[in-house]
Chain A
Amino acid sequence: MFIKFTQKHEWVKSEGKTAYIGISDFAQNALGDIVFVELPQTGAKLESGKAFGSVESVKAVSEIYAPVSGTVTEVNSELEDAPELLNADAYESWIVKIELDANSETELDSLMNEEEYGEFCKNES
């Protein structure tokens, strides 16, 4: 399983046709206390670059954008009662599990790897 990042600070871990999506540590830190996560429905179609949910901190609302296209097979409903899990460990707390679309390979290729994302964050702060 490998991890890729978007410029909007989402991560995607994929293996074969399955992928998990979450927000990065940089994102959770910038948001502060996360108090609400708006999750999509199972079965929802995600389109790369389009918002599919949102995370809210005490101060702000931030949309979550799909790093890749696919269909939601499971949502992390633990986050409904414990959204703060995203603060505690952003890389363990996935938000949705998806079945990747056929064209997702190219989408994945266009995302940043860990090192590139680290550099990207340095310029963000």
Chain B
Amino acid sequence: MRTPLYETHQNLGAKIVDFGGWEMPLQYTSIIEEHLNTREKAGLFDVSHMGEITIKGYAAKDILNRLITHDLNLLPTKKIAYSFIMNENGGVVDDLLVYKINGDEFFLVVNASNTDKDYKWLKEKTAGISDVKVINQSKEYGQIAIQGPLAQTILQKLTGFNLSKIGFFAFDYIKVCDIDAIVSRTGYTGEDGFEIYCRQSHTKEIWNEIIIAGKNEGIKPVGLGARDTLRFESALPLYGHELSDNITPIEAGLKFFVNLQKEDFIGKDILKKQADKSTQKRLTGIELIDRGIPRDGYRVEKDGVDIGYITSGTYSPTFKKGLAMAMLSNSPDIIQPDSQVDVIIRDKKIKAKTVNLPFYKKKRRI
């Protein structure tokens, strides 16, 4: 599959890779350069592969509320919740953003590779209920993310709407380059920035206009390579790595996004038990002391005993060293920061220590 920007990426000389069936740009120039440019100035991302599903109708809110960890009764209109669609075992079907359009309509933004699974799940859970409709709109929408400290300055040039009025995890219907769009202050980089949803056919025009508008500020296109290292440094979970059908949000350290006060929802019992007592495993940060790059799936040991595995690991462009997130046994002598551990890289023990997550926090906005 290709996004409406496929040709644009090719013309920019991007290295194209397969990402869950999508031909996406991995990098345009260099992952490190694109990463640092987003942290220091601004980056532009094609995220049109993401899935968009609308759920609406009189019963939509109550049904959706049974499927996810956020309490939608507490979510105001034009605000967004980060949440999880749960399975019966406390595992995660998908993590998603829920945009509240109004009391009877929600716009769900889901992982590209999970879109069909989520749509099926939602259809199944709403089967036979006439008051609710689930519509997969992924093919109708293009999505662009503009991220970085200069994101607002650049995007503001293309809209008459005062962007300061869109708060963190809020959205509005505005015009960008005179094109109707949904714009939210969200992203996957740990920086300030916006995500822009528009009709597929308008995606290219908005992309090109942002590149022109941001020229002086130094905006650059960013591929999936840097998108991953940016989200990684900010410890934002990636489905299939920190979250999966077999990892609960509590184990992934995401209790903040689970409302255990709300009445019944799928998986609640297990999450409550884990929150009250403790979990067997726990997501932890790891920093290599010896040289090397920790990678997904590498085992972690303490005093020669296997204690877990790395869920995401890479060279960090910001800190210029090997960092990892790892699912480790939840015992104090392991998950306390500064615990000595070894990462097993090609049969060698590489010295490392545990650290707090996230690795990176953006500077406060002035």
A43-60 vs B, CB cutoff 8 Å, 1 = contact: the mask equals 000000000001011110
Interface bin, chain B? 10 to 19
Name A58's contact: one of B15, B31, B346 (CB within 8 Å). B31
Chain A residues with Cβ under 8 A from B229's Cβ?
58
- Docked complex: B301-350 residues within 8 A CB-CB of A: 314-315, 317, 322, 346
Asked if residues B32 and A58 are in contact (CB atoms below 8 Å), the reply is yes
Count contacts between A and B, CB distance < 8 Å.
36
Chain A residues with Cβ under 8 A from B26's Cβ?
59
Residue from A36, A38, A57, A59 whose CB has the most chain B CB atoms within 10 Å: A59
- Docked complex: A52-92 residues within 8 A CB-CB of B: 54, 56-59, 61, 80
Chain A residues with Cβ under 8 A from B291's Cβ?
36, 80
| Min CB gap A17→B, angstroms | 30
Name B225's contact: one of A36, A56, A59, A61 (CB within 8 Å). A59
Check if A32 is an interface residue, CB within 8 A of chain B.
yes
Asked if residues B30 and A33 are in contact (CB atoms below 8 Å), the reply is yes
Asked if residues B31 and A32 are in contact (CB atoms below 8 Å), the reply is yes
Check if B189 is an interface residue, CB within 8 A of chain A.
no
Provide the bound-state CA to CA distance between A54 and B292, in Å.
11
Q: Quick one: given A58-B225, A58-B314, A58-B315, are A36 and B293 in contact (CB under 8 Å)?
A: yes
Q: Provide the main secondary structure of the chain B interface.
A: mixed
Check if B203 is an interface residue, CB within 8 A of chain A.
no
Provide the bound-state CA to CA distance between A3 and B26, in Å.
32
- Docked complex: A1-55 residues within 8 A CB-CB of B: 32-33, 35-36, 38, 54
Chain A residues with Cβ under 8 A from B322's Cβ?
36
Q: Quick one: given A32-B225, A56-B315, are A61 and B27 in contact (CB under 8 Å)?
A: no
Provide the bound-state CA to CA distance between A58 and B225, in Å.
8
Chain B residues with Cβ under 8 A from A36's Cβ?
291-293, 315, 322
Provide the bound-state CA to CA distance between A61 and B346, in Å.
11
Asked if residues B292 and A32 are in contact (CB atoms below 8 Å), the reply is no
Chain A residues with Cβ under 8 A from B27's Cβ?
32
Q: How many residues of A contact B (CB 8 A)?
A: 12
Which residue of chain A has the shortest Cβ distance to B27 in the bound complex? A32
| Min CB gap B313→A, angstroms | 11
Asked if residues A35 and B315 are in contact (CB atoms below 8 Å), the reply is yes
Q: Provide the main secondary structure of the chain A interface.
A: strand
Provide the bound-state CA to CA distance between A38 and B288, in Å.
15
Chain A residues with Cβ under 8 A from B314's Cβ?
58-59
Asked if residues B317 and A58 are in contact (CB atoms below 8 Å), the reply is yes
Provide the bound-state CA to CA distance between A29 and B132, in Å.
52
Asked if residues A32 and B293 are in contact (CB atoms below 8 Å), the reply is no
Provide the bound-state CA to CA distance between A56 and B315, in Å.
9
Asked if residues A54 and B225 are in contact (CB atoms below 8 Å), the reply is no
Name B32's contact: one of A33, A38, A56 (CB within 8 Å). A33
| Min CB gap A38→B, angstroms | 8
Check if B295 is an interface residue, CB within 8 A of chain A.
yes
Asked if residues B295 and A33 are in contact (CB atoms below 8 Å), the reply is no
Asked if residues A61 and B31 are in contact (CB atoms below 8 Å), the reply is no
Provide the bound-state CA to CA distance between A38 and B292, in Å.
8
Which residue of chain A has the shortest Cβ distance to B15 in the bound complex? A32
Provide the bound-state CA to CA distance between A54 and B295, in Å.
14
Can you spell out 14 A-B residue pairs with CB atoms less than 8 angstroms apart?
Answer: A32-B15, A32-B31, A33-B30, A35-B32, A36-B292, A36-B322, A58-B31, A58-B225, A58-B229, A58-B317, A59-B26, A59-B31, A61-B293, A61-B295
B residues whose Cβ falls under 8 Å from a Cβ of A: 15, 26-27, 30-32, 225, 229, 291-293, 295, 314-315, 317, 322, 346
Those 10 A-B pairs whose CB atoms lie nearest each other, nearest first = A35-B315, A58-B31, A33-B32, A56-B293, A36-B293, A33-B30, A58-B315, A33-B31, A59-B225, A32-B31
A residues whose Cβ falls under 8 Å from a Cβ of B: 32-33, 35-36, 38, 54, 56-59, 61, 80
Task: Given contact pairs A35-B293, A58-B229, enumerate 5 new A-B contacts (beta carbons under 8 Å).
Answer: A32-B31, A36-B322, A58-B315, A58-B317, A61-B293
